[in-house]
Amino acid sequence: MEHFWVPYQALSSLPGHAVAVLAPHADDEVLGCGGALASFVAQGRPIHVVVVCAQSDEATTLTRQAESRAAARVIGYSAPVFWEFSDGQLPHAPQLSDKIRDWLVETHADLVLVTSCWEMHRDHRALAEATIAAVVALNGRVQIAFYEVGLPLPPNTLLDITPWKEIKDRAMSCFQSQLARQPYDRHIRALNCYRTYSLPPAVQAAEAYLVLTAQELLERGLNRDPQILSQALHQAAQEQARQPQALVDCQDCLAAMLNSTSWRLTAPLRWMGHLLKDDWRRVRNILKNRLAFQQPLPGPSNSQCIEQRQTVGNNDVRSVVRA
């Protein structure tokens, strides 16, 4: 049953001959599939990498592009192509799917690697959605392999990257502008280590992929409306943004009620109700105890105590219950 959730064997390579890699931002191609890229280089496969987004300012864009080229040199594939779509705006780029389809035809790729539609970043999800549409449009000529960066995906393939672990580490270290903000390399090393959980001890690091054909995309319904997850996450974010104000409104309403004249005037009645309820609960418990021990109810008395008898073994045990 466990095999349904995660593979228990790791592959040494992914399928396909010519490989295309789509990265939403400069560094995703290495963080998500740097080990796979190193394995493709070792196998001599044609590799085509595109970084889709550019940053809002030119200086940052140039810095990150230079880092991406440096990482490519470390691993050994050709410099990426940069499409320079606006960062954060991929969900609003309807022409993206057609551009991906044309690029896949041009490169003769039969395997495309892309961020998964379960990613937390909207650009990552939008790129996955556009790639799904492109792969389905190509009618079975290309397989798709989703990779993970910011959020684990449900994999059907684990790639053993133990031989390429050090190369991937060196390539990740090229992205100093991003590592200064967050130790992404540490997070990815932890993720790659976690992915060995179901694998033999000899596998020290693994990358997880969901590899699907166009037909499997159709069967899973991912082609029908791949934006469902994005829309649900957007709605959840909007609802979360409303929660603080809703809490403030509830607190104001509660404060108004507690400070109202009617609440103060009825306070003695509420306390009396609590006391009466508590007295009746005690009486009920005493009656239950009497019935359990099959003792007659006490007659009218001013006594504050009720004696109970219970046979334990051969001993007659007496106890006193406060009335």
Give pLDDT, residue 270: 63
pTM passes above 0.85: no
Sketch the domain layout of the chain as residue ranges.
2-226
Quickly name the fold that domain 2-226 has.
Rossmann fold (3.40.50)
- pLDDT for the residue 303: 44
Angle at 232 between CA 227 and CA 237, to 5 degrees: 125
H or E segment and range at residue 321: strand 315-322
Distance between CA atoms of 32 and 132, rounded to whole angstroms?
Answer: 18
SS3 call for 193 = helix
- Along the chain (323 residues), what's the average pLDDT of each consecutive run of 10 residues? 76 95 98 98 97 94 97 98 92 90 97 95 94 93 96 95 98 97 97 97 97 89 56 62 81 83 75 59 53 49 46 46 45
Chain-centre distance of CA 244, in angstroms? 23
pLDDT for position 285: 56
Residue 321's pLDDT is what?
45
On whether the CB atoms of residues 116 and 148 are closer than 8 A, the answer is yes
